[in-house]
Structure 1
């Protein structure tokens, strides 16, 4: 039986430069690193996604230090890398074809930010028919002002994004449950 693919989204150096105090879940990188180590130990598929900006001067512009993967979460030569230009890792990247070619029907998504790239990718994965999971402790969000002008804390933004996904597009779980339920099933 094919194991669940771990999809790590946008864990790039530029994500560490600003806003650390304005985000939730400061243990997300630890949870992601733990999942990555366990997926690697089992020889399960790992996909690293990075955002390559189309905006000159962006920290995520190709060739800029901010576009590089965080050293602790860098891909091995044997792991698949997807470069995207929009929040959704499936748009114009070949990710869907890569998964189907390998018979992968389940994905576990982690990374940043919960309400942008994680949510967009999870929605598409679910819509494409992949059994989709999001590790709530393996992603984080930033404070944001909503459409009505109300300031929302990073935890509120994170919780709402997970709520948008759970039961409709994905199953939201804790990383420790992902290991027992998905990796060792």
Structure 2
């Protein structure tokens, strides 16, 4: 196997801007993201930085604005490829798939924000492209939502996405578990829809 670490949208918008990450606490998830970058560098795992970019007049991720900038802890670290995207998935309208193929990457590790939006979209697209996907539960994060369909807390959204990811699309693990797997050169264990539904049916 050959991994790449994909660090999605770790930009100031999610810290000091209009979309503050709420769960897990953003300073905790940021520390874990930084840890994955450092371990990836130590073990020769390529790092891809993804940055969401919107027009200058946009209220979110306006190109060139302070909120659009990468967090200093991430932007100051070395990386192998930078992807600018305008849609939720890191694959949509970008060269990410081609770059991964050129590097002979077969496994992508998803970190960054938001769990229920860009992270989930990227993970699904990666799985549909035939890549193995790892989704780090404590190096991602969500914020609450409320609209005409209902209301969900950040914790509810985050946890629900993790369950769905683990049922079909990704191996879900903590940062510590991922670091152990990288150091051992091993894949993370992956569940599936049958096992997940079987366990759920058997649970009173």
Structure 1 runs (4+) deviating above 6 angstroms are none
Structure with higher RCO (Cα < 8 A, 6+ apart): 1
In the other structure, the counterpart of 2:14 is: 15
Residue matched to 1:81: 82
Displacement, 1:152? 1.6
Number of corresponding residues: 182
User: Does the aligned pair in 2 maintain the 1:134–1:172 contact within 8 Å?
Assistant: yes
Contact map agreement 2:43 2:182 (CA 8 A) in 1: no
Instruction: Give matches, 1:31-110, under 5 Å.
Output: 31-54=32-55, 56-74=57-75, 76=77, 79-110=80-111
Largest Rg, 1 or 2: 2
Q: Is the 8 A contact 1:75 1:81 kept in 2?
A: no
| CA drift at 1:36 | 0.7
Contact 2:48 2:79 in 1 (8 A): no
Do structure 1's residue 127 and structure 2's residue 101 form an aligned pair?
no
Shift of residue 95, structure 1, vs aligned partner: 0.3
Unpaired stretches in structure 1, ≥5 consecutive residues: none
Aligned residue in 1 for 2:118: 117
Contact 1:25 1:139 in 2 (8 A): yes
Q: 1:147 to 1:77 in 2, by over 3 A?
A: same
1:19, distance to aligned residue in structure 2 (A): 5.1
Q: Aligned partners of 1:138 and 1:109: how far apart in 2?
A: 8
Structure 2 unaligned residues grouped into runs of 5+: 186-204
Decide whether the 8 Å contact of 2:47 with 2:81 is kept in 1: yes
Q: Secondary structure at the match of 2:168?
A: coil
What is the root-mean-square deviation of aligned Cα atoms in Å? Answer: 1.8
